[in-house]
Structure 1
């Protein structure tokens, strides 16, 4: 299945509002030349804004360290060392405790300083134009869509349960790095930055899947649809999305086909 086919399947079956986005952490300068870029940011912006441009504008972008304006994302991606005074101050409004506010940025998922040369961010289908695949697939979805995604993720990857990693901010940047470093699915709510800069509106959550596990997730969904007749897991399952939203076993909700 191509990346475009995988994205189209999810968009149709789950009625996604936004395109799935591929994220590749570029550690080798030679890889950068292989990645198709359609747009560049004219000013320093946030990681969340790069992702918004990819999922909503269809832009394929490369975020150099110097283009990342977000002070919380910079140490997460290893673009700078942690600064005790500055990073403590950034977390005080959330935690209101100086010791805890310094502990929080230290415990986020982070790359070593200088490891990542930049981050390629593009609609998932764009990766069909290169032999390099994303490290992660990012989706902004409503919780009901996330529920279906994670059911297929667990079925396709043989996982009976999942745990997610939440931090006081850095929902999208640290959320990405956590999924990558731990090779597991992750989900976060919006944070202050992803709500405003990243446009994670209040009904949405952020979902991150390692690429190979994403492929197994999509294959599982494809198999379920072909076997059961539809993607919905409501009731008996197999309904076309979103399926019949009725109480399980309710005797009033019985239908028969009119001949």
Structure 2
């Protein structure tokens, strides 16, 4: 099996990715955290707080491996996505999440969206290690999930490569919190996915308007990577004499 660094290097070089992929590892006991992995914010002056999506964004920007726990977070959606559990009752969260120009229009909608992402059990994990994929390994720092920010055409290549031999298609997910859509959902389905994200998550990870986010179980990533050089990359459509219907305004002017 190829190492995380080898997979990262191949993805970046073959697809010319602007940002290197990252990996995350879910931690059930603090004893699982390898020595030398620093805690989020330990270099900060004063108390360091952030959001899960922004922490992932730090890794995409090149931050060294670090781990985070529930007390580091100011966003309840992120703590749910990390498996740390809720920070407040859903009825309390609804006060600033439900209404015009907010996240949801109804409490029922909020609850349904949360259920759809197949959330972790309350307090299922105590920490999460976040790192550039290239700085992880196949042992104590083996990632559970890999995230890739890319252009749609690059994502198309990666997903076609994933199904090149098996014919397996990849279903996208959208409509709610980015961190939840690519976290518990992928862990519980065991399948890769892609998303357009949401306002908060895209801001935290600095996902541009012309980019998408891919999420892979680490164990499946190599399938896609090894096939990237095998997929078709040049259409033969130009060889055919295709007739094209023209826009109505052009058709009218031509006939006059």
TM-score range, shorter chain: 0.7 to 0.9
Q: What is residue 57 of structure 1 aligned with on the other side? A: 62
- The answer to whether the 8 A contact 1:79-1:114 is kept is yes
State the Cα distance separating 1:129 from its structure 2 match. Answer: 7.8
Q: Which residue of 2 aligns with 1:161?
A: 169
1:56–1:91: structure 2 CA closer, same or farther, 3 Å change rule? same
CA contact (8 A) 1:165 1:178 kept: no
Runs (4+) of structure 1 exceeding 4 A deviation are none
Among 80, 87, 95, which residue is 2:93 paired with?
A: 87
RMSD over equivalenced CA pairs, Å:
2.3
The alignment status of 1:126 with 2:135, answered yes or no, reads yes
Summarize the Cα distance change of 1:198–1:216 in structure 2 as closer, same or farther, 3 Å threshold: same
* Aligned-residue offset at 1:248: 2.9
Q: 3-state SS of the aligned residue for 1:149?
A: helix
Distance 1:232 1:55 in 2: 29
2:107 is equivalent to residue 101 of structure 1: no
Partner of 2:233: 233
**TM-score, reference length from structure 1:** 0.80
Which of the pair has more CA radius of gyration?
2
User: What is the aligned counterpart of 2:239 among 245, 249, 257?
Assistant: 249
Gapped regions of structure 1 (runs ≥ 5): 225-230, 237-246, 252-259
Q: Which whole-Å CA distance do the structure 2 matches of 1:174 and 1:56 have between them? A: 21
Displacement after TM superposition at 1:131 (Å) = 4.0
Question: Is the aligned partner of 1:33 residue 2:40?
Answer: no
Cα distance change on mapping 1:172 and 1:102 into 2, 3 Å: closer
Unaligned stretches of 5+ residues in structure 2 = 242-256
C-alpha spacing 1:104/1:2, structure 2 compared with 1 (3 Å): closer
Question: Which residue does the alignment assign to 1:241?
Answer: none
What is the aligned residue count?
A: 231
2:10 maps to 9
